[in-house]
């Protein structure tokens, strides 16, 4: 089976990450998006998604062990295109909860 080889480029350090394998661009974009939207918002990638770009480097054939690299890395997607947007309804719900908590706090300590 032929799988694709990918790497993320950090525009601030101007370095590529160690390569990783995915079946196609779609699965690589999903893995890249997951890394950028990691629940631990303390990662360099999740703090600065706009600094990262995903590139396809080539392919690997597991039947013969041969890598075939592209002439140059092929841009797939930028990190700024992969950050998850919070839906407006979720924001409204959060505002409602904040208002409710503020009212409850004012009932406890009216000062």
| 3-class DSSP string for 37-93 | CCCCCCCHHHHCHHHEEEEEEEEEECCCCEEEEEEEEEEEEEHHHCCCCCCHHHHHH
**pLDDT of 109 over the 70 cut:** no
Average the pLDDT over 80-108 and give the result: 75
Pair 29, 8: CB distance under 8 Å: no
pLDDT tens-digit profile of 22-46? 999 999 999 999 888 876 667 888 8
User: Does the pLDDT value for residue 62 go beyond 80?
Assistant: yes
Query: Cα 109 to the chain's mean position, in Å?
Result: 42
What pLDDT, on the 0 to 100 scale, is given for residue 41?
A: 67
How much is the pTM? Answer: 0.72
Average pLDDT for residues 15-21, to the nearest whole number? 96
Where along the chain do its domains lie? 2-108
Q: Is the pLDDT of residue 84 over 70?
A: no
């Amino acid at each position: 089976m032929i799988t694709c080889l990918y790497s993320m480029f950090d525009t601030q350090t101007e370095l590529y990450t160690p390569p990783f394998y995915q079946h196609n661009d779609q699965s690589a974009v999903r893995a890249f998006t997951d890394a950028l939207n990691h629940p631990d918002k303390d990662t360099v990638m999740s703090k600065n998604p706009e600094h990262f770009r995903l590139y396809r480097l080539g392919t690997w054939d597991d039947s013969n062990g041969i890598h075939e690299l592209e002439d140059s890395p092929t841009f797939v997607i930028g990190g700024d295109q992969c950050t998850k947007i919070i839906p407006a309804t979720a924001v409204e719900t959060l505002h409602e909860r904040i208002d409710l908590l503020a009212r409850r706090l004012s009932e406890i300590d009216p000062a």
